[in-house]
Structure 1
């Protein structure tokens, strides 16, 4: 050509002439294209170049249309537990929040195969920079699960979420276990309407959603039993009340109260005389079940007053676990009482407190006999 570029053209099996998709910089480039076409003919894989180009453009269009956002929505709709059951509303809400707030803004518009490890690594690192590592760990775990399913579906060759520790966050604080004396002081510092709730949480280890889901007919003062059958949670934005089963199958259980908790529950339920047996034990001012926010202000004031500022409500469950372990509960007993699905979680509480360790040392001293005279 007068332009100095080279054209390639050949007579195809369809008895038609076919030209290269463009002109070539060198004669060698043009010959290489012709050799490729010749190889397709000899391998009986040949179709007209224009047909192949059109199909390639359509495939690219389909790939661009199959964005992460489209796939993620389908993934969430079809997600089930390992036992094939539907997800709990709180789990769905957690996935939804991670997608809407953190994942889709970063990856939603991208085709699945354009999400690579470098992009994921940079995205995950930004959470730590912003001081929001816990949210980053949760979002990373959701992203990894979605892309693992995409790999299983053979839509991508390899899951790009390969960051070691990406789904873990540095623990911001250690859980606090109150002593029996501190727990009693906390109960005294709480408003009257929340004292029985504080006792049930601190001695029986109910999750706040389990306590919120308790109905009056779930409390048997004769046997001292609490029948844990459901949870009450507020899910989504705006929040809506969702009643459902406990966190796991083991969460459906009977927990027996110590005598002083039975007495406090009896006193409290006496203030609800005339309430339907199906009524909730603890309610907000509007009659709806409580949430973790309902007692927040009172709890913060009470914990500060006993020198335990910074304690959170879930620490009461940790307290109950620790007290039960110190009282001699076995791992199996703890697992049943606390409704743990994983025995490893219960095992975490099979440690002794400082007071119990001191008692053990005293017992060992007694076993050794009287101390020698100085």
Structure 2
């Protein structure tokens, strides 16, 4: 197959169109664009055949546009992304975000729409692709994929290939009830049921992994609502036993080229309380050590990541034997937040402990207590009785003959 060349930036383009009559296909039009390469001074040309003169003229205009702007408006998304390189990733964190974003482009975006010209991409087409992804992948995977597509199409807008970015706000669109049920399970359902189950899990990971550090990680996660990466980022100096607080300032996780330590998610430090069941563990971990030492280390002295915890303890097999096959390491964070909410911790405090920006995210951990709502109604009614005549707000229609709200009940 002959390659469709694109004139380089700054090349002076010459063109012509020839009509080619045919008894079988009618008149076809052969369009030709030629130029001299400004760097090599070699003469180059490209041709294409069309069924109408208008289509041939549009193709020539695209080539002229490419010589002026350096971009071809008719190129496919795959071709554009190949030429773009990593320019789309300039604004993201290369140590953590790049890999999932790049995988989203490679594994989902290009198979779904890489063959389409960039100028043909619309919000509706992207929505239909997201519909398919949501039936096959989790919410986080889809979110990362769409975010990467947004960055690529931002570059296409800058290059003049699109008037506006059709992928903007696609990741935050409203989902159907069925999709919500599958992808946005209540985090309370992902928590352990009680302290006895937590103690069984703690003992099981120590036995399976052959070292107490695995049990320490489980205990810290379930008592503080920290993420695994945040526990890995703790130092001895972050633990203030006298104040009863742990400062969460950083996270450590596997990134490109090895372990990466940086600010916490959202780049906001916070403090979490030290509850009494956790105090003996922390006292043991800080005893006789320097403030800059990593608080929790693995059997070989390295940082503990969610992957090492999983592999060293054979986590998936272990939780299945305990009767909780769906429990993941992040479920221990859900456990802590659920138990804190059930203990009566106020929503605004729970949000600070969790490190959530949106209180609506934290509110999902609250128990749907209908009795408390009815009690609130009773308190409001009592207030009303002290501050006004309760009968004054009664339905006047209810006092009508027959007691029917619309007047006397018809015979």
Task: Quickly name the TM-score band, shorter chain normalised.
Answer: 0.5 to 0.7
Is the alpha carbon distance of 1:337 and 1:53 closer, same or farther for their aligned partners in structure 2, counting shifts above 3 Å? closer
Equivalent of 1:207 in 210, 227, 230: 227
Contact between 1:209 and 1:231, CA under 8 Å: does it hold in 2?
yes
Give the drift of 1:213: 0.6
Deviations 1:2-29 (A, max 9, x none): xxxxxxxxxxxxxxxxxx944598xxxx
Q: 1:96 to 1:279 in 2, by over 3 A?
A: farther
CA gap 1:216/1:112 in 2 versus in 1, 3 angstroms: same
CA shift, 1:72, in A, is 6.9
Alignment deviations for residues 187-222 of structure 1 (CA, whole Å, 9 cap, x no partner) = 233312222221211111011110011112222233
In structure 1, the gaps of 5 or more residues are 1-19, 26-51, 81-86, 365-374
Alignment partner, residue 404 of structure 2: none
Structure 1 or 2: more strand by fraction: 2
Match of residue 226, structure 1, among 246, 255, 276 = 246
What SS class does the counterpart of residue 307 from structure 1 fall into? coil
Higher relative contact order structure (alpha carbons within 8 Å, sequence separation ≥ 6)? 1
Aligned positions, number = 305
State the Cα distance separating 1:54 from its structure 2 match.
7.0
Residues 288-323 of structure 1, C-alpha deviation per residue, up to 9 Å, x if partnerless? 211101111424455344432321111111111111
Contact 1:140 1:166 in 2 (8 A): no
Give the secondary structure class of the aligned counterpart of 1:350: coil
Aligned to 1:132: 137
Aligned counterpart for 1:74 among listed residues 72, 77, 87: 87
| 1:124–1:166 CA contact under 8 A, matched in 2 | no
TM-score (norm 2): 0.61
The alpha-carbon distance between structure 1 residues 155 and 258, as it changes in their structure 2 partners (threshold 3 A), is: same
Instruction: Give 1:177's aligned residue.
Output: 191
Please give the TM-score of this superposition, normalised by the length of structure 1. 0.66
Matches within 5 A, 1:299-338: 299-338=315-354
CA distance in 2, matches of 1:337, 1:233: 21
Note if contact 2:147-2:171 (Cα within 8 Å) is conserved in structure 1. no
SS of 2:345's equivalent in the other structure is coil
Gaps of 5+ in 2: 1-15, 22-57, 207-211, 379-411
1:225·1:257 contact (CA, 8 Å) conserved in 2? yes
Tell me, yes or no, if structure 1 residue 344 matches structure 2 residue 350.
no
Q: 1:118 to 1:227 in 2, by over 3 A?
A: closer
Deviations 1:56-83, CA, capped at 9 Å, x for gaps: 5332563157814444732221x26xxx
Q: 1:234 to 1:22 in 2, by over 3 A?
A: same
What is residue 104 of structure 2 aligned with on the other side? Answer: 98
In structure 2, do the counterparts of structure 1 residues 182 and 154 end up closer, same or farther at CA, with 3 Å as the change threshold?
A: same
Q: Say which is worse superposed, 281-290 or 118-127, in terms of deviation.
A: 118-127
Question: Among residues 292, 310, 318, which one is paired with 1:278 in the alignment?
Answer: 292
* 2: CA distance, partners of 1:349 / 1:308: 20
Match of 1:5 in 2: none
Cα drift, residue 159 of structure 1:
3.9
Equivalent in the alignment of 2:262: 244
RMSD of the TM alignment (CA)?
Answer: 4.1
C-alpha spacing 1:334/1:320, structure 2 compared with 1 (3 Å) = same
> d(CA) in 2 for partners of 1:306 and 1:196?
19
